[in-house]
Structure 1
């Protein structure tokens, strides 16, 4: 899910910024069942609807060699029925009650959601509780879904040169860290998964003591807790073994790769290894917020440095961007990516991006730039809180990566405390060659003109 908003939307939100930042925020309530299930309820009484999400602490970063893609495969199988409800019944029942449902898998989580009229919340709870521990895994359905996933991989990765380049890039940037594996899995691993593999994975991770139930909407917290206790309370917990450390080995030099694939345009990815909020000691957590501001200085609207200098200014780039997520479970990458403008090369674009990094290291960012990023963060915070679904997403993500939902209300404040000196410090500390991986996509001729479709090189979530 893309959390960026357009400059037009920022201008539209100008009037909203006159409101208190918490205008759309309701009180958050936390409960815990005896079997270990955590329930987080956030009241939002603006409409008679409710969003329910179940987040499991398991994703591709939990997988071992030879088993990549199993979390995503199990997500697909979770819609294939239980002893009580047959294949497709889950989706049919939600639709009959005027709701919508789906699921998504990431590196650090697998999540399932329903959006319903508030009086139908018990239906979502009943269905989710049933498949949390009573999933029926059928060999025939599994083999069918295995082919569906392989086709999904072909359409979303194999046939998409940017996505394929990004996959190779991640596998080069990491030596042994689990983020080197694609969420959907490597083709050979997908092909050789067995039903027994899925059963063991399901029994190990799909348990109330490894899940967070998030509810946002027009609900009463105590009644919601009673409802959760009714449907989830009898479920037995699992013996969840502690995760072994999978710390990435130290990188000792710049890494580079060139990918040659049939493509219309060349593409550049540059990634620096950086910490995230969960990996930093408390006294150094400001670094994650400073890195977020740094990414905003580079890529945060039409007046950001990359757009104003490389697209409109020097016209060396046709597209360019920066990406950093401080809420990952493990240290990740600050990524710069782009396509050179016609008449310019990948080398020129890389040199231009390196020059922008050097400026961050040698020259403090201006007060005007800091103010712009902080204003955008305030606008985004207000806009995101207008969505019940996104509020639930934030809570579920923060709980699942071990930070706690309380960090949600700290983000805006922490961003506003970041100084120019701190941005310069993290640029000098982390944006260095010893932490850098560079990938070039050099286009080969296309056999035939592909059908027009949107393509992103940096997607890491797979939606059923």
Structure 2
């Protein structure tokens, strides 16, 4: 019987045979095409290298607000018509904003790619941001903040922890923005953001699916080449000062259970061919959580019954600095302090004793299998390419990711835990649950889906 490792590697090698084309148009727009002929569909994504980390105090959330406004019409396409045309062609579309980028996508039959490019090129250059439509949409965004952050105690804790853990770096600001900034934002703020960052030389077009690279490149030239490059602002380094001791906060919010969040400053992938620590930290996250036999689940939830859940997470790919995070909810009758001590004991055990070769092999198989199965989706093939190149990494870094993970040693995992999971890099946030007060019902805001 073939092992999961062998099966995953075979799938990966088969996926790697798909052709990848990476070109840059004369106006600076990058075009990446990943050919995958398993189904007659395609996904097209336009990535702008502008996210919340590029914002200024006083206008936090403007990147996300502009994402909303991108669907509100251009000189050529009336408000709401963009989505209607995609739907009429049998496709689906949406967008998302992060700390590092804003991206827009369509999933359609392969023969409708021209429509996708035509519409994206139009709103890259011809967006109309009227005061009237902005006034309506900013209300939608504020309600979105209330629903997804203000009314979610764990989300509030994460937001406050980020504002504490980062002293200077713009990652300390929430992607959706502070409410006060949203309340005082104007249509001109959105227009300024659009003029500053929405240009072909700050964008990457990623197309994946049953397409031919030369035809995609020809369409990209047809629709985007006429758009002039913009004079992009200078991006200055925004290094985070070294932390000099543990930071702790307690957040009081209406909630049923307490909650613990621990975050350590950690490196991200910069030189993919030479870096080893980010890959070791990915394996460490898998050692600590990810399945029923992982250390946090086994020790804290099953054996000691101190927690009802516990997990670790780490993202190696970003434009800015990274965080290695552990979150957990204490079991009834157990304190957050007891839970934190138990987590620390597990980390100290890895730092002191390391991990076994069998444990390393199991986690590698799990991480690699997840990577392979994710690549089975056209959307995530394009998504990963967009994330990597927007972070300044070449497509080769994505193609080589599995090989780098396979090369991680137990000693490297132990060394990464020893070096990075130290108190001088740590911020701790505790949710102190307050009585659940009855919340008055709010009127529905068009465009926002209310939680039940």
Fold equivalence (TM over 0.5): yes
DSSP 3-state at the match of 2:373: helix
1:102, 1:83 → 2: CA distance?
Answer: 21
**1:423 maps to 2:407:** no
Q: 1:86 Cα shift?
A: 0.6
DSSP 3-state at the match of 1:24: helix
Of 370, 376, 384, 2:374 maps to: 384
Q: Is the 8 A contact 1:394 1:405 kept in 2?
A: no
Q: 2:43 corresponds to which residue?
A: 51
Q: 1:323 corresponds to which residue?
A: 313
**1:309 maps to 2:299:** yes
Q: 1:132 corresponds to which residue?
A: 124
Q: 1:168 corresponds to which residue?
A: 160
Matches within 5 A, 1:21-100: 21-25=12-16, 26-100=18-92
DSSP 3-state at the match of 2:15: coil
CA deviations 1:58-82 (Å, max 9, x no partner) are 0001112112101000000000000
CA deviations 1:229-276 (Å, max 9, x no partner) are 000010011011221111111110100010111101100000000010
Q: Structure 1 12/54 Cα, relative in aligned 2: closer, same or farther at 3 Å? A: farther
Of 10, 21, 27, 1:19 maps to: 10
CA deviations 1:303-343 (Å, max 9, x no partner) are 11011111111111101100100001111210000100112
1:245, 1:18 → 2: CA distance?
Answer: 39
CA deviations 1:358-401 (Å, max 9, x no partner) are 11111111111110111012211221121000000000010111
Q: Is the 8 A contact 2:287 2:360 kept in 1?
A: yes
**1:144 maps to 2:133:** no
DSSP 3-state at the match of 1:277: coil
Q: Structure 1 423/145 Cα, relative in aligned 2: closer, same or farther at 3 Å? A: same
Matches within 5 A, 1:177-192: 177-192=169-184
Q: 1:462 corresponds to which residue?
A: none
Q: Is the 8 A contact 1:83 1:134 kept in 2?
A: yes
Q: 2:449 corresponds to which residue?
A: none
The TM-score normalised by the length of structure 2 is 0.94
Q: Is the 8 A contact 1:22 1:382 kept in 2?
A: no
Q: 1:341 corresponds to which residue?
A: 331
> How many pairs align?
439
1:336, 1:237 → 2: CA distance?
Answer: 43
Q: Structure 1 49/450 Cα, relative in aligned 2: closer, same or farther at 3 Å? A: farther
Of 346, 352, 357, 2:347 maps to: 357
Q: Is the 8 A contact 2:4 2:365 kept in 1?
A: no
Of 238, 258, 263, 1:246 maps to: 238
CA deviations 1:411-461 (Å, max 9, x no partner) are 11101111111111111111111000001001001013999xxxxxxxxxx
2:222, 2:201 → 1: CA distance?
Answer: 16
Q: Is the 8 A contact 2:5 2:365 kept in 1?
A: no
CA deviations 1:44-96 (Å, max 9, x no partner) are 00000000000000000111211210100000000000000011100000000
DSSP 3-state at the match of 1:22: helix
The TM-score normalised by the length of structure 1 is 0.92
Q: 2:438 corresponds to which residue?
A: 448
DSSP 3-state at the match of 1:213: strand
Runs of 5+ unmatched residues, structure 2:
442-452
Q: Is the 8 A contact 1:118 1:217 kept in 2?
A: yes
Q: 1:281 Cα shift?
A: 8.8
Q: 1:409 corresponds to which residue?
A: 399
Q: 1:197 Cα shift?
A: 1.4
2:212, 2:47 → 1: CA distance?
Answer: 21
Q: Is the 8 A contact 1:21 1:378 kept in 2?
A: no
CA deviations 1:175-214 (Å, max 9, x no partner) are 1111100000000111111111111110110000000000
